[in-house]
Structure 1
Amino acid sequence: MYMRKRPLVTLLSLLMACVTAMGQAIGQWKAYLAYHEIQDLEKAGNVIYVQASDNLYAYNTNDNSVQTFSKADCLNDCQIAHIKYNATAKKLVIVYTNYNIDLLADNGEAVILTDYQNSTLTADKTVNDIYMNGHLAYLSTGFGIVKLNVKDAEISDTYNLGFPVDYTYIEGNSIYAASNSAGLYQASLTANLVDKSQWSRVGDYVPKQAEDKQDLREAVKNANPGGPKYNNFYYIKYEQDRLYSCGGAFIASIINLNHPSGVQMMHDGEWSFTQDNVGEITGLTYVNTNCIAVDPNDPSHIFTGDQSGVYEYQDGLFVRCYNMDNSPLMGVIDRGNQLDNNYMLINGLCFDEEGTLWILNGQTANNSLVAYHDGTFTTHHKEVLMVDDNSTSMAGLSGMIKDSDGLLWFVNYHNNGSSFFCYDPIHDQITAYKQNLQNQNGESVVGYVTCIAEDQDGNMWLGTTLGVYYQSHSQRNETSPVVLTQVIVPRNDGSNLGDYLLSGANISCIAIDAANRKWIGTKGTGLYVIDSDNTTEIHHFTEGNSPLLSNTVFSLAINNATGEVFIGTDKGLCSYMSEAVTPNEEMTKDNVYAYPNPVRPGYAGKITITGLTMDADVKITSSNGSLVHQGRSTAGTYQWDGCDKNGKPVASGIYMVQTATANGEKGTVCKIAIVR
């Protein structure tokens, strides 16, 4: 049996970590989970465990404190289906929707049992209920009963009864299995319960009487675990020191999540939400917010692209909805018929340098691109944005971004013409890249184009359903054929051969950090981090090897001031604190410093020097001037492991950090005190 223990991150360990101004250490994960909808509660002494929005928090009735739990700290998985406290073993049994099981002890240590998830059973493994008897837990499943020894953290027996069991209970010397489809079955606890013949039908099914937990609900009504309202993060963006997110998503024939509309915003660690009764006001279907644009002059003034039009909000309050009734925007054409305001494809919004909002309007009769400025709409429809038979505009027009030159880029994520486009809003000119897409070796680009991002070299990176490419500045004039670069990663095995970067991966999103590294999210294979050389894989995070919530990554956004990378998945939002922060223009004694400082005995993490310029030269010397370590910064930071050039930990003392710019100009000096 496989078990993995994850201790709760303690306050001491957090204090010992090298933390950023936001309190998150470089290399540390954080989960931003919803706890809005209470689903179940379990009392454990003075603690009440609360399952809410498929997540978990604990409320201490003695001091009114709240503690949240997640895969980023002590739990081993996410999306909780059931919880039940075993008072004998003093452990909370947590069953996840993917059939993994965590046993959370009172001291915060979680042990995962993967045997049930990994079992080769072909029957329905859904857990319907948990019943406690002493140190044992009986899991009612889609095929029978699983007996779990909570004290010893092991599965003791599996009773395959051949029918779904809704709940189990024990009376006297008998165990009962209640099934809505098969009736009530009974067996003696002393019998061989694995043998189905030992079970006999003794009555009809009676629904389980719900346990009255109103007193527990009353006890936690003032608890505030914080977090977002929903775990839906199809689209996220970080602008003006705020994280904006929406749940999505509606692209015809591609995706329809049908999540509630609206925007969830985080600023300084606090969440706020747009008005949620908008559907009642407009009378329109209020689902599937696909994208967000933030007024560059007012971070509280936002626009969203929804299934029923473009919505405007000010300070979180609904202002108006723009649709066919009050704008040039048009509804979807379906089999020759134009649908009403409840069916619109708005999957791209972006402000240009002049403060004009640009809107993509897909699958319409004769509309594709609309501008909105100072209360006035202007249509800029382009014939090149129509499908080949000119029946409608392209259905997958999406992912609009503004590049460093003020040009607007977007893709057509659809099977009716995989392509991407560059629009010049100043001259009202569009360049289409949709004819014969191929790589530098003449091989056709297959799969749909899903997303686009600009790196610091001006290259436009394109994600497709079967890999990743980029278009350099020199390739922009090549429109027939469209030639893209598909990076070849050397095998370094003496064969002089290489493989295409992430070939075959279904790319969903791309973000570029301050060090020009590419963060590439996928549907199904997790998150990749590719170095600025475009070939070196720095990280490949999966839900199996990291606290990443899911291998399906919908969206990415980066706070370059802190290095925090936000990751929107189909199971919620998490983040990873990278070392890449925006570099300074110059290094001074006021902006270059190291942390933790002093480095105290027992500290095993890395020491971070921050405030550096791009690719700065860093030399660390002892107090007598001997060189002990040197290297170059990653964007605005550098990390030192506290070891000398031979890999041995340095002795106690004062160490000097001497910096210089990439072109050799002298920077500044800071000191690090190390106590062994």
Structure 2
Amino acid sequence: MLRILLCFFTCQAFAQIPTDTWRTHNNYVNLKGVEVVEKKLYAFSDNGFFYFDKTNKQAVKLSKTDGLTETNLTQIRYNPSLKTLLIAYDTGSLDLVEIDSDGLPGDIHNIDFIKNTGTITTSKRINAIEFQDGFAYLASDFGLVVLDVKKSEIKETYQNIGSGGRAISLQQIAFARDSIFVNTPEGILGAKFDATINLQYFGNWHPIIDNQLFKPVQYPQNPLIVAPQEIETDAEGKLWIADGENGLISNWEGTFKAYSPNGTKGIINELLYLDSKIYAKGTVGNVFENNEWQVVPLNLIPTYSKDVIDNYGFRWQIVSNGVRLTDDISKQTRLYTIGRGSGNLPSTSVNTIALDQEGTLWIGTNDGIAAVVPARDIFTRTIDAYTPFNSQGRRILLQESVRKIVVDGGNRKWIGTTNGLNLFVPTVDELVTNYTQSNSPLPVNEITDLSIDKVSGEVFVLTPKGLLSYQADASEPKENLSDIKIFPNPIRPEYQGVMTISGLSNNSTVKITDASGRLIYETRSNGGTASWNLQNSTESRSVSGIYMIFCIAEDGSESFVGKVAVIK
């Protein structure tokens, strides 16, 4: 019997980011620096960057999704006369951010000269920034850089200024009297700051003994101030401290409090999904639940086996020379390794295995992927792995190092490699999309781990330089259509993303019509989720009104009728 469910405007509210969007899950508490920028306080960690707005007491995260060029900051400094915030990254790349009178970021101009130059073969890390006469002076691991802020270009670089013309790392800069001083691992060097002095010549730099230069900072005593890295004073005379353990600390409201946004803590090495929660393990335990990260002791994170149990109850296990198959009852074993008749894997170096919804085992190696279709008689006859090919006859992910494979609610495969994140159709013979640092917020191309929130379909992506997540358009299907959600609803003019229908049964048909019944869009769900890209529909943007959403289960036994409002 066909069962019809009705839903109007009450089914839109639950905590989930829009489909086809990214968000960062970086570290905002192990801070490295802080800067007063008009009415805002900007602070950064190794991979997290944010500002705190005293007006509304909100901490706002900033990332590549906001126009920043990269992720891993090493220093920030603000020039109030030029209304410019200078951001340095560990690659040597520089962002000049225009700042308005309230401290909000505007246009961003990138300078990639240091990053891309081949003349600097050592570390390009920027350690300190000081402004002087409209120029920014940057102390780096390779020397001193002079940046013309107004022209957004590098004016000079002074290298090999150590004793005898040796290369030397510069940690701090100071201007005093008529001279410029730099702090190095070998002591302080000083030179007369004059246009007639060639700072490129090491002989013009002299060892300096001065106890007043680069004195250690004295920090206030407070239980929250555990590992202070930097301190600034705002226009009200209040202290703002970047603490390496507890984040952004200030006495702005009287007593010292913490003002960092929610995020992970410590260095993350591994992800896992258990009991509807995402766990991030490393130097500290983190758990993502109810849209927030919380620290959890490592010994309280659930343990789990990386072995895979197939539909016949056989165990698949990664070993040093391939994958071992075991029948735990009969104790029969078989090794899948390279060579026909021996498993036919593309490589003996296996990094990941995953079982999909059809019972196929997918194997990720240092030379691409392979798949095995298990059978009950797999121990008594030869069943080799096969390698998928695309329509051009090329082996999928040939010579790619596959780090992790996860299966989404639509049985599609998310495959993380050293060259990016890939989404394939269920049969893995067609690439749906590929994400790299050049076309997404990924800080680097290397993917070290993946995990999927099976309820929401959010894909968590771990890289060596930070953790991100992507809201995919697939989730685990529901048994019926009793818990469908439509979001956002209503769709306002400023929203430029994707409308999502979640809570569907597998392969449901979704039709969207206008109020007169004219069909606007039709699709099928990926597992329990379907989406409507409004950017590809001029019809929905041209006319305000109510649109009808009809969802029908694959077997036709159940249907759902909902409404969404589009506001022009």
Quote the RMSD (CA, aligned, Å): 3.4
Answer yes or no: is the 8 Å Cα contact 1:233–1:555 preserved in 2.
Answer: no
Per the alignment, in what secondary structure is the counterpart of residue 634 of structure 1?
Answer: coil
Answer yes or no: is the 8 Å Cα contact 1:19–1:25 preserved in 2.
Answer: no
Q: Distance in 2 between matches of 1:552 and 1:123?
A: 22
Q: Distance in 1 between matches of 2:294 and 2:540?
A: 48
Paired position in structure 2 for 1:30 = 23
Q: Distance in 2 between matches of 1:654 and 1:670?
A: 10
Paired position in structure 1 for 2:561 = 669
State yes or no: 1:629 paired with 2:521. yes
> Kindly tell me: are residues 606 and 132 of structure 1, through their superposed partners in 2, closer, same or farther at Cα, counting changes over 3 Å?
same
Q: Deviations over 1:438-491 (max 9, x none)?
A: 499x97622401110011110001010111111112497268866111000012
Q: Which amino acid aligns with 2:116?
A: N
Per the alignment, in what secondary structure is the counterpart of residue 440 of structure 2?
Answer: coil
Q: Distance in 2 between matches of 1:439 and 1:137?
A: 65
- Map 1:227-626 onto structure 2 (within 5 A): 227-228=262-263, 230-247=265-282, 260=283, 263-275=285-297, 302-304=301-303, 349-350=304-305, 399-403=306-310, 406-412=313-319, 414=320, 418-425=321-328, 427=329, 429-438=331-340, 445-474=346-375, 477=378, 483-491=384-392, 498-522=393-417, 524-587=418-481, 590-626=482-518
> Kindly tell me: are residues 138 and 422 of structure 1, through their superposed partners in 2, closer, same or farther at Cα, counting changes over 3 Å?
same
Per the alignment, in what secondary structure is the counterpart of residue 196 of structure 1?
Answer: coil
Deviates more, 1:621-630 or 1:610-619: 621-630
Q: Which amino acid aligns with 2:350?
A: V
Answer yes or no: is the 8 Å Cα contact 2:47–2:465 preserved in 1.
Answer: no
Per the alignment, in what secondary structure is the counterpart of residue 205 of structure 2?
Answer: strand
Q: Deviations over 1:50-109 (max 9, x none)?
A: 333553333345654333333344533222222223232233322222222233433123
State yes or no: 1:108 paired with 2:102. no
Answer yes or no: is the 8 Å Cα contact 1:56–1:69 preserved in 2.
Answer: yes
Answer yes or no: is the 8 Å Cα contact 1:231–1:571 preserved in 2.
Answer: no
Per the alignment, in what secondary structure is the counterpart of residue 394 of structure 2?
Answer: strand
How far did 1:119 drift?
1.6
Q: Deviations over 1:349-375 (max 9, x none)?
A: 43xxxxxxxxxxxxxxxxxxxxxxxxx
Per the alignment, in what secondary structure is the counterpart of residue 479 of structure 2?
Answer: coil
How far did 1:234 drift?
2.2
> Kindly tell me: are residues 54 and 578 of structure 1, through their superposed partners in 2, closer, same or farther at Cα, counting changes over 3 Å?
closer
> Kindly tell me: are residues 434 and 45 of structure 1, through their superposed partners in 2, closer, same or farther at Cα, counting changes over 3 Å?
same
Q: Distance in 2 between matches of 1:192 and 1:591?
A: 74
State yes or no: 1:202 paired with 2:104. no
Per the alignment, in what secondary structure is the counterpart of residue 240 of structure 2?
Answer: helix
Q: Distance in 2 between matches of 1:151 and 1:242?
A: 48
Q: Distance in 2 between matches of 1:600 and 1:483?
A: 53
Per the alignment, in what secondary structure is the counterpart of residue 550 of structure 1?
Answer: coil
How far did 1:133 drift?
1.6
How far did 1:155 drift?
2.5
Q: Distance in 2 between matches of 1:557 and 1:226?
A: 23
Deviates more, 1:506-515 or 1:649-658: 649-658
Q: Distance in 2 between matches of 1:643 and 1:508?
A: 33
Could you say which structure has the greater relative contact order, defined with CA pairs below 8 angstroms and 6 or more residues apart? 2
> Kindly tell me: are residues 61 and 482 of structure 1, through their superposed partners in 2, closer, same or farther at Cα, counting changes over 3 Å?
same
Q: Distance in 1 between matches of 2:379 and 2:115?
A: 51
**With structure 2 as the length reference, what TM-score do the two structures score?**
0.80
Per the alignment, in what secondary structure is the counterpart of residue 554 of structure 2?
Answer: coil
Residue of structure 2 aligned with 1:79, choices 72, 93, 98: 72
Residue of structure 1 aligned with 2:52, choices 53, 56, 59: 59
Question: Structure 2: which 5+ residue stretches go unaligned?
Answer: 1-10, 162-166, 221-238, 242-248
Percent identity of equivalent pairs = 25
Answer yes or no: is the 8 Å Cα contact 2:40–2:104 preserved in 1.
Answer: no
How far did 1:152 drift?
4.5
How far did 1:200 drift?
1.0
Paired position in structure 1 for 2:244 = none
> Kindly tell me: are residues 436 and 152 of structure 1, through their superposed partners in 2, closer, same or farther at Cα, counting changes over 3 Å?
closer
Q: Deviations over 1:626-649 (max 9, x none)?
A: 333222222222222348999885
Q: Which amino acid aligns with 1:241?
A: S
State yes or no: 1:219 paired with 2:250. yes
Q: Which amino acid aligns with 1:616?
A: S
